[in-house]
Structure 1
């Protein structure tokens, strides 16, 4: 009897110890297991949880705010194909009207997106440049609305137009292009070749790209491999939160998969000015600049290639009035050392019209000169 009780007690103790061991093991495993970081699984489209319908859901929500922009412009056309038109006898016989300029209407297509419920729309300046008539077509509508230009800027290639609407319009939110990273997914929506609301996807390939197209010198563009074609200009480049991070602007005609967009950091910095003043005021000194190369630095006996070389001075400009000359090298502005031409342009661009700047200039020797910044004349923007 005692042996039976002794055996029962032993089994009970063994079971108790085993229970403690399994319980401890369970606690140990629980403590060492990685805990789910709830911050990684937020509702943000840029988070880790990207599903098969993520793009579709973003496009479905954002697409209503993307519009097609149609423009009409009248151009002069001379009838020069027939050599007889340049013959004085031929013109005298048939009259001068045959050689006079004829006019025809040309149409253009672009994209834009609504930024306010009362009808303000952002697009590229080159989409509406010179247009005599602008029409905006919403998604799902065959009836275009007439639009007027509120403000535009050639240098930045930005424009704001407006349509009247009796209803509140769907809008797109401006995101922060400074936060987007190379490799992040982006979505382009627009009207390439007139194909309404075409959607393409890609990634941010690079940031801060300078691009020269005809007379425009773009700075700080986003580069993407999302397909951008003629007609996409002015449309939004979206992140996975459905926010605008760029305005689709240009493509590299010599390569596939290279498109560019103006970052929203640029757009937001001038948006109020475009709407309230109809233009962007650009500070201006009136100098044409070029980089200081190693050869130039050696010629001027400079220690390095810092600074910006004055390649030309505009007549009647602030620079001419204070005596700046071709060949001068601007080394500092208000104590800030100039590292490059772009550095100088950025510093001047952040000043206000009427502000006085103190320049350190090298000619045969270093000297200081004060200059008052003016507004860039409109005739110099194109």
Structure 2
């Protein structure tokens, strides 16, 4: 594969990451309108949105074995098209039960897309012989920012929810049609396939298990920051209501910066050192916000948490996609499945602990997970050093 072809593949995969974030942010940006259409209270909306999480969690472990048979390039394209076509159905389903099914299907398609596009990102890394995974995740974040802004624009222009989603679907489909020819085929010789099949014990693979648990701790932390920082700033740090969103702004900005710089940091420091250093930064940031809860320490603390968490999941995916004896899709699907469970477990656990002993106590649980993440990485260093991250073609 020529250098020019690799660069085209890198651009194509980058655009898919961007479209994924763009499409997701567009429909989520208009959740208040969704509530109006189906007359949902906050609790009912939460249950409806849970359908998407369940769909993703069901689909992710299955995607690895499908990728082995069909190739991540094909699964990426198929799931991207399905995701695009399903989104406009959200505001026009007959009732809340069919809406739940649509969101389950959207979650399943986007979850499979997450696994497949990250497998493609690993193949790009392998051909470039350098880390670029973090940059793909930064582009996903940029796509979400663009999608959220696009959603706000359509609200300002008073465009109907259905028309809005049709327009962004059309844009996304044009991109999908354009990039589909530049993805990297990863089908192997049929005689090699059996060693790549997902076995019953794949979750017990030591490297996958440790990487999955690290991703679980990190993704639960990411979800906690997204869900609770504004509330923490207002209720604990006693920020004015106008200032309370700044904790989330600081965290999100830091995640973007950290992911843009993450690949260069991986090359300079190595994966293990970077994960350990990142975990320490996240621990220091959250500790600052918890121990000294005032406005400026909250903003600074959550910024440090964002910097600390930014590169960890991309590193986990990249490492999982390069484990000998497993195809990238299989490794990534297992780590993604374990990690994604953090998004499901985090909100209710933190909510329960906060109701019991206060929000600072609930956020201290996240701090404990950051410490666990650091310890897991320290114990996994020897195992990770045995993984050849960037094999020759």
Q: TM-score, normalised by structure 2?
A: 0.24
Pick the structure with more helix per residue. 2
Greater CA radius of gyration, 1 or 2?
1
Q: Whose relative contact order is higher, 1 or 2, with alpha carbons under 8 Å and at least 6 apart?
A: 2
Pick the structure with more strand per residue. 1
Q: TM-score, normalised by structure 1?
A: 0.25
